[in-house]
């Protein structure tokens, strides 16, 4: 709901996402902050930020697939991996520039995801989750067993830095800006997709597939499309990852990563692009602060030993996810919306 005194006088205004001057200012400030960030923060924090931007693309894909279309997907890391490997192979074998290899990598992931999307046509819920785990296993199996000349097998792929007009993205700062630009474009696109007829079809299929069939929505195609878009986003994220790390290996895309992506979606809030971004930020921030805190805890309590402390970190992170599932299953975004609503209605209850 809008704050008091804000009235839409046209349909353009009424469906706009940025509705008040305050939101506009906040968005501009966020952009400025993101642009000056690498000049203010140290190299480690810039690296974490780049990581977050790449994750954001992948998790937005998962949000569209899982939060909007309601198709549980435990294979998002595999889709990301397909994108990373395809990007890497295209860049190495065919010398494609990054602005071609990343989109093609996204398309490769989209095709891979689409195949698993077809299984979502007949399978729902837990069983679909199991099927998408198959994507994860299949990805590992294929990469390790295909001829080594294709995807490097267990050696992985090593990439040259991305280049454009003679400028190469070697430094941490330059790759940060590349990721920022791509992520901004993908976030913009995601807001467009979920507001269009496709986004409504996703939510409709998730809510009630019988009724959505009778609305003229092709349920089969919609579910497969959700997987296709989700996997495309994962593939783009994978492509960025390939150019960021400049080394692609299977153990960067495990089931464990997929589960973290799901955790980010849930903590942020299902069915909200902004929620996905918040989820990435929160989970990644907690993870990284644990990694930073770990050694100092070990230093404080040497009797515990490094093994115990680092194992406990995972337990603690798992605890956070469990707490979210119990106390705030609809995520931070839901809580934020409640707060915003009650603030705008104050002092009245409704």
| Dihedral pair phi/psi, residue 157, rounded to 5° | -115, 140
> Least separation, in Å, of the C-beta of 146 and other proteins?
30
Q: Which is nearer to other proteins, 203 or 298 (CB)?
A: 203
> Least separation, in Å, of the C-beta of 220 and other proteins?
9
Q: Are 50 and 244 in contact (CB under 8 A)?
A: yes
Query: How many helices and strands (H and E) does the chain possess?
Result: 15, 4
Site string for other proteins, 192-231 (x = CB under 8 A): xx-xxxxxxx-xx-xxx-xxxxxxxxxx-----x---x--
Window contacting other proteins (CB under 8 A); options: 20-28, 148-156, 190-198, 252-260: 190-198
> Least separation, in Å, of the C-beta of 213 and other proteins?
4
> Least separation, in Å, of the C-beta of 7 and other proteins?
12
Window contacting other proteins (CB under 8 A); options: 117-125, 184-192, 253-261, 291-299: 184-192
> Least separation, in Å, of the C-beta of 20 and other proteins?
16
Verify binding: residue 117, other proteins, rule CB under 8 A.
Answer: no
Site string for other proteins, 241-280 (x = CB under 8 A): ------------------------------x---------
Q: Which is nearer to other proteins, 161 or 213 (CB)?
A: 213
Concatenated DSSP letters for 95-137?
A: ---HHHHHHHHHHHHHHHHHHHHHHTTT--HHHHHHHHHHHHH
Closest CA to 208 of 222, 194, 197: 222
Task: Copy the structure tokens of residue 87.
Answer: 């990007």
Cα–Cα distance, 304 to 112 (Å, whole number) = 45
Q: Which is nearer to other proteins, 45 or 100 (CB)?
A: 100
Q: Are 348 and 8 in contact (CB under 8 A)?
A: no
Site for other proteins in 49-88 (CB under 8 A): none
Q: What angle do CA 88, 91, 96 make, to 5 degrees?
A: 145
Q: Are 231 and 112 in contact (CB under 8 A)?
A: yes
Q: Which is nearer to other proteins, 40 or 214 (CB)?
A: 214
- Residue 228, classified by CB atoms within 10 Å of its CB into exposed (0-12), middle (13-18) or buried (19+), is buried
> Least separation, in Å, of the C-beta of 189 and other proteins?
4
| Dihedral pair phi/psi, residue 302, rounded to 5° | -65, -25
| Dihedral pair phi/psi, residue 168, rounded to 5° | -115, 140
For residue 175, the SS3 value is: helix
Verify binding: residue 187, other proteins, rule CB under 8 A.
Answer: no
> Least separation, in Å, of the C-beta of 211 and other proteins?
4
* Positions in the binding site for other proteins (CB under 8 A): 1, 11-12, 14-15, 188-189, 191-193, 195-201, 203-204, 206-208, 210-219, 225, 229, 271
């Amino acid at each position: 709901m809008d704050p008091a005194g804000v009235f839409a006088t046209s349909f353009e205004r009424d469906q706009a996402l940025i509705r008040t001057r305050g939101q506009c200012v906040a968005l501009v400030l966020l952009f400025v902050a993101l642009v000056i960030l690498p000049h203010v923060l140290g190299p480690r924090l810039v690296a974490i930020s780049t990581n977050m931007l790449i994750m954001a693309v992948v998790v937005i894909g998962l949000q569209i697939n899982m939060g909007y279309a309601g198709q549980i997907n435990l294979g998002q890391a595999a889709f990301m991996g397909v994108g990373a490997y395809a990007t890497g192979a295209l860049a190495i074998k065919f010398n494609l520039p990054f602005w071609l290899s990343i989109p093609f990598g996204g398309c490769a992931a989209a095709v891979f995801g689409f195949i698993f999307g077809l299984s979502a046509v007949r399978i729902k819920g837990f069983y679909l989750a199991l099927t998408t785990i198959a994507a994860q296993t299949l990805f590992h199996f294929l990469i390790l067993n295909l001829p080594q000349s294709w995807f490097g097998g267990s050696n992985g792929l090593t990439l040259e830095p991305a280049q454009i007009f003679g400028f190469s993205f070697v430094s941490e700062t330059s790759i940060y800006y590349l990721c920022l630009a791509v992520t901004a474009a993908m976030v913009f696109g995601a807001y467009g997709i979920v507001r269009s007829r496709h986004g409504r079809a996703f939510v409709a299929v998730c809510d009630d597939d019988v009724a959505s069939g009778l609305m003229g929505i092709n349920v089969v195609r919609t579910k497969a499309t959700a997987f296709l878009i989700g996997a495309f986003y994962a593939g783009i994220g994978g492509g960025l990852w390939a150019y960021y790390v400049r080394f692609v290996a299977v153990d960067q895309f495990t089931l464990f990563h997929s589960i973290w992506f799901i955790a980010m979606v849930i903590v942020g809030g299902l069915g909200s692009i902004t929620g996905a971004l918040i989820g990435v930020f929160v989970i990644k921030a907690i993870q990284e602060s644990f990694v930073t805190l770990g050694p100092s805890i070990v230093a404080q309590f040497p009797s515990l030993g490094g093994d115990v402390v680092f194992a406990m970190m995972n337990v603690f992170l798992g605890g956070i996810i469990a707490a979210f599932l119990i106390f705030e299953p609809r995520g931070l975004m839901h809580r934020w919306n409640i707060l915003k609503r009650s603030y705008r209605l104050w002092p009245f209850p409704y």
